[in-house]
A and B are shown apart, each in its own frame.
Chain A
Amino acid sequence: MISAYKITGNFFPPGQSLKHDAEISVDPKLFTVHLYNEEPRRYLIEELTISDRIGDTPCIISLPDGGLVEIFDNESLDALFHTLPQKPRSRFIHTLETRWQWIGAALAAIVVSLVLLFTFGLPMLSQSIASQIPPVVSEKMTVKVIAMLDSGMVTPSGLKERTKRKYQRYFKRMTRRMAQGKDYNFRLLFRKGNAIGANALALPDGTIIVTDELIRLVSHRNEFIGVMAHEAGHVVHRHGLRMTLQSSLTGLVLVYLGGDILNSASIIAALPGILIESGYSRDFEREADKFSFTYMKENNIPSEYFATLLKKLESQQKTSGKSNLFSTHPATSERLQLLKSYEK
């Protein structure tokens, strides 16, 4: 049973670039190359290597003797192969690539997986990595951050020794139980904030830095405790490490996805990274607020104190105009609202 029709193409003999016009035909077992003025060449179909279909690019058939056939008419070739029982040419991926419903499904899969990856995947992954990282790493990171801050951003504290001792006492009393059996040690450092104004920073190994400007805003012990509990929340939930990991991973994913598209413009590639990261850090702030509130509730400290300090911070930032450009806290009004909702 020899198939009625033949398909034209190019034939190249083994190891040569010499082009022959050729016609090919198939029957269930044999693949025949017909050449002008030459004996037809016959091959077993199972011995051929036939290229998958990709778009409408030519089909390349490698012959077992090293010869090559190049065929341009994909439709006729596929129709011809379709008559064979063994279907020698793979078309599976090509089918996906030509039906609009599969293309739509692929597009939906891409969008959904990216959203899931950034909202759940990366945060969960970095949390589990962060809990595995030995304390040495957190200590090293802390030393480095303090050195960086001290090299110009902040200057030694101008508070009276008596004031410092008082707040150290409050701090010790508050954190004594929190660090039991954990790999971090809470300690409190005072610095003059200058450009960063009234502020408190939590570092991965449990070091908390508080600025003179913030201390001056405090008018009651419990206000201080509220802020410190918030910072302790950052330490307990390992936000420093998680942030570092999450932004590394975000960078990795963005480079992987957009590497070849945007490699000439790293600035634009950094932009989605910045947005995603500030989203992450707002989540961390909420988590720390919640930690602080839980602590205050357990110790019978009214949460109004913390709220009062937040309000003072907000109005102070407004008048001094020293609003931090890259601040990544949620809006104060939103935080106060959340505090109230925890209370219920």
Chain B
Amino acid sequence: MSSETTITEETDSLNSPLPGDESEKVSYNIEFRGNAIEYFKIWIVNTGLSIITLGIYSAWAKVRTNRYIYGSTFLDSSSFQYTASPLGILKGRLIAGAFFAVYMLFTRFFPEIAPLFFLLAMPFIPWMVVKSLRFRSRYSRYRNISLDFTGTVTEARKYWFWMYFLVIVTFGFIIPYIDFRQKEFMFNRNNYGQTPFNFSGKWENFFVIYILGGLITFGLVIAALLLGGGIIAAAVAAIAVMTPDAMGTLLEDEAILAALIPIAMMFLYLPAVMFMTAYKRTSVFNYLFNNTTLGSISFTSTQKILTVFWIYLSNFFAIVFTLGILYPWALMRLVRYRMENISLETDGDLDSFLASENQNVSATGEEIGEAFDFDISI
């Protein structure tokens, strides 16, 4: 354990309430002890074994990764625990993989039928969402108490099916509201043991987040277009003026030009896309946590949009330029920033929570959601 840890623990114990003094608020910071080198080794072995076993080990790999991340996350010197079994995940992956392969082949050979495929899948989305949320909750544990998701498919159908029809009617203006209702459903149907989470945010604030985001996007697109057009024109002009011969060879060298276009696009649009992602995720994440309570506990999340954007951008280039080798470092860095910006405040303690009855939940919903890149994270 590092010296840093000891300091944090000391600060925590200074904040502890004196016996008998119950009105005093106690605050706890989440501490992330994951380490890039330690995780690098786990990740390489995970990937190697997954390839050698033709993907079968990937279910075990996922469990080990999640257990490492949960187990490295500490609150009041106890760690979180991920308790899912790899066999359930393997089953889910096989089903999800089959679906995904069929979908891919459809889009290649019968592109006109592919949207139909998606329409057919639509009614199953609420089911997948609920399955996936339930799976994630039931297998997350802290201090011998598991989370428990009690939302039903019937309710999820409102937010992940019926409300989508309103999108067409309102030309999309309803989207922030739907997003809000979905997040509310995800938080408010979650219990820690028998104690429910209570998210008391207002949907109006999601409109504020979206409208601000829209304005920023508009500004960024204009800036990117001006900047990008200028750079390309300047580069072509420079080549043409200095070396007319080189211009000819450049045009002829098809591979270079073919590769140049996506690279130029990448340098322009990637930062803009990343900024928007950072903006939206961070604003929503902070808003959700800052308006949620669990019994007498209230949460605070203090992530900064610019810091998250910087982490995304530098992580991306670190991963691409090292052909993936720095992926573990990048992941640990992002998770650490997210986690260490969450704190809890309570006038009671963390000792008095009681467990609910546990059940086994199939992993299928979560895995199908993952294969289709279906965003069920917050």
Contact = CB atoms under 8 A, between A and B. Distances in A.
A106 B45 contact: yes
Contacts, number: 159
B223 interface: no
Most buried by A among B45, B72, B145, B262: B45
Contacts of B25: none
A326 B254 CA distance: 6
Q: How large is the interface on A (under 10, 10 to 19, 20 to 34, 35 or more residues)?
A: 35 or more
Interface string B248-268: 000110110111001101100
Nearest to A70: B78
Contacts of B70: 57
Interface in B38-56: 38-39, 41-42, 44-45, 47-49, 51-52, 55
Interface in A147-177: none
Interface residues of B, number: 66
Contacts of A337: none
B53 to A, nearest CB: 11
B143 A244 contact: no
Contacts of A114: 51
Main secondary structure of the interface of B (DSSP, over half): helix
Contacts of A109: 48, 51-52
A247 to B, nearest CB: 8
Contact of A67 (B55, B144, B270): B144
Contacts of B143: 10, 12, 17, 19, 68
A275 B262 CA distance: 12
A17 B259 contact: no
B220 interface: no
A106 B79 CA distance: 29
A106 B373 contact: no
B47 A261 contact: no
Interface in B14-42: 33-35, 38-39, 41-42
A267 B265 contact: yes
A98 B39 CA distance: 10
Contact of B144 (A17, A54, A251): A17
A327 B41 contact: no
B274 A55 contact: no
Interface stretch (B131-139, B299-307, B352-360): B352-360
Contacts of B105: 248
B78 A264 contact: no
Given A261-B319, A265-B316, A326-B254, A16 B44 contact: no
The 7 closest A-B pairs by CB, nearest first: A57-B71, A106-B48, A12-B144, A17-B353, A15-B355, A68-B144, A17-B143
